[in-house]
A and B are shown apart, each in its own frame.
Chain A
């Protein structure tokens, strides 16, 4: 009988167009939209072009050091940062006005920058000049006060050239956009709530005649619910796996190399999604439509807090209210993916997985206690 219940739950789910849309089509559509948007963003980042500038200096007092720096930055190649277009002030002003150059660097009494706009190029130039002036002052101060340490300082400066770089504890690459796709998978898992909710509605005689017919049969309620739960988990898992495979092999999103662990996370994520739906369906006597709206809103809020719409959201929550990240299923799923990709150890990943299992277990127990009620006061 259990197999029969399982079989028909799976058939029913695959034939329910609404559920299929939310569980399969919607994540695929959203993933594609993410990919298109982020793709444009990274193209923009990758196609950085050198900044055109004008350099005006006092002809009577040449600054050879700054000229050397400018020459290095103007060297043709991948790393070329600036291109000095002119040294004539009049021409420079005209070019700036026509936006042909991003700024004019004056090196007269002191080094200054004139810009006609605010943008990335202007910010880069400003930052570059600030750093140059700051370092030049430091070197000159040390040269004046402790000339014997000058060589040491220059050596230290040249070795510290690369400053900071983000590195991973594993050999996986860290894409700042990955978080969006982690949240997308979390959302796909949690959309199992719809199937969970319909399972609960179909098991409460006071919510539907269909449930009354099922309850009137000589079948243990636990068996009914378990059959529905397992069927829903399997279908939801299959849908989410399709989303994952699409992201991995079609959109080429990097999920790291620990694929089996990702699959386990998705499975547990689906369980928690369906358990949430089971819980929402079992409490209260609202209509199925009303319950669907509530659970959809709740799931979207969970996903928002995990970074689906704004990538840094999870970090903001971690800073201000970390408890939310500990109990938000979407955040737990996202963090499990993140920790798999970042850490070589599985401590944080296991913690997330255990938390998800505990939440899913609690939701299932409460739901069953509510549903297993023997007789109803009214139908």
Chain B
């Protein structure tokens, strides 16, 4: 088995009384796009800062590429690219100069750097904006510049902390495609986001964290298997007496029934033919129904069931 790109064991980080990371464990293998999901304050950014050796911690170990991470481990740092949640570029430098500046912190050779910078500009779709100052860029372009600055040196490990916050759908798609492309080229990616569908779309494995703890980890299919919900069936029903609701609840695999505003929602645990069974029951009891939907559990259901809260804290 190859050495994990990142191995975190029993990591504890306290801010006075607040425990930001509570015996947190994580292993990320090479070539993964690893999603780190969690509500605000769950410890995602703290974890990233500990991986980068920016933040001190109270207990535990952080290994990157098989070596204990430290601020002076320049060899390891050279292989890491970071895209912070806040855009971190110089307003006084142009798009090209910004990428060149940050790439220059990693790549000494002028010609190689020039080539890498051009490639990063191309990758981020910023060719037309090379000479623009950050203040003249739209939010989406600025985010793309932020990414280009973090990946221009072709790192083996890319850490992206909510890179698509406040980005329009077109730019978001461009960014997500770019991440998949980087991964195809061999980079391991750690991706944190508030947007469940993004994580579901690109991540090969996902960890759900809350209150500094790793609550669940696995592929999206594995995570969905961990929860009770197997299928959610919704339909329009004009009238439904309570006795029918009670009887539906007693059907096999049904564990939750809600009826409001002429809408019937039925949650079923894993099992086959749930929809047929419910429709049969309605027909037998001559209950009229309209449009019927059947949905498999989403990552949002997984998150809700595991953490008990909405991911997008308002």
Contacts and interface: CB of A to CB of B under 8 A. Distances in A.
A379 B57 CA distance: 12
A16 interface: yes
A233 to B, nearest CB: 18
Among all A-B residue pairs, the 3 with the closest Cβ atoms: A217-B105, A218-B74, A218-B77
Given A1-B104, A209-B88, A374-B71, A218 B82 contact: no
Contacts of B93: 8, 11-12, 15
Contacts of A217: 77, 102, 105-106
Nearest to A12: B92
Given A1-B104, A15-B92, A213-B150, 13 more contacts: A1-B108, A4-B104, A16-B92, A210-B88, A212-B84, A218-B78, A218-B105, A220-B74, A374-B72, A375-B53, A375-B54, A375-B55, A379-B55
Contacts of A375: 53-56, 71
A209 B71 contact: no
A219 interface: yes
Given A11-B93, A217-B102, A217-B106, A376 B82 contact: no
B49 interface: yes
B15 A378 contact: yes
Contacts of B87: 209
Interface in A91-106: none
A242 to B, nearest CB: 20
B244 interface: no
Contact of B90 (A1, A5, A12): A12
Nearest to B82: A216
Contact of A214 (B49, B70, B72, B105): B105
A212 B71 contact: no
Interface in A1-22: 1, 4-5, 8, 11-12, 15-16
Contacts of A376: 54-56
A1 B108 CA distance: 6
B75 interface: yes
B97 interface: yes
B56 A216 contact: no
Interface of B: 15, 49, 52-56, 70-72, 74-75, 77-78, 80, 82, 84-90, 92-93, 97, 100-102, 104-106, 108, 149-150
16 contacts: A8-B93, A8-B104, A12-B93, A208-B88, A210-B89, A212-B54, A212-B88, A215-B54, A216-B80, A217-B77, A218-B106, A219-B74, A374-B70, A375-B54, A377-B15, A379-B49
Contacts of A218: 74-75, 77-78, 105-106
Give chain B's interface secondary structure class.
loop
Nearest to B81: A216
The CB with the most chain B CB atoms within 10 A, among A4, A213, A215, A376, is that of: A213
Nearest to B76: A218
A1 B105 contact: yes
Interface string A211-230: 01111111110000000000
Contact of A11 (B55, B71, B97): B97
Interface in A199-215: 205, 208-210, 212-215
A205 B45 CA distance: 14
A379 B50 CA distance: 11
A368 B165 CA distance: 35
B256 to A, nearest CB: 42
A378 B55 contact: yes
Contacts of A377: 15, 55-56
A219 B93 CA distance: 20
Nearest to B57: A375
B105 A8 contact: no
Contacts of A213: 82, 84, 88, 102, 149-150
A102 to B, nearest CB: 62
A378 B85 CA distance: 16
Contacts of A212: 49, 52, 54, 84, 88
Interface in A352-379: 374-379
A379 B86 CA distance: 13
Contacts of A215: 54, 71
Nearest to B104: A4
Contact of A216 (B54, B89, B100, B108): B54
B297 to A, nearest CB: 36
A15 B90 CA distance: 11
Nearest to A214: B105
Given A215-B54, A216-B54, A375-B55, A8 B101 contact: yes
A378 B50 CA distance: 10
A57 to B, nearest CB: 79
A219 B86 contact: no
B154 to A, nearest CB: 14
A12 to B, nearest CB: 4
A204 to B, nearest CB: 11
A378 B90 CA distance: 23
A205 B54 CA distance: 7
A217 B81 CA distance: 8
Contacts of A5: 104
A219 B101 CA distance: 12
Contacts of A205: 54
A212 B80 CA distance: 13
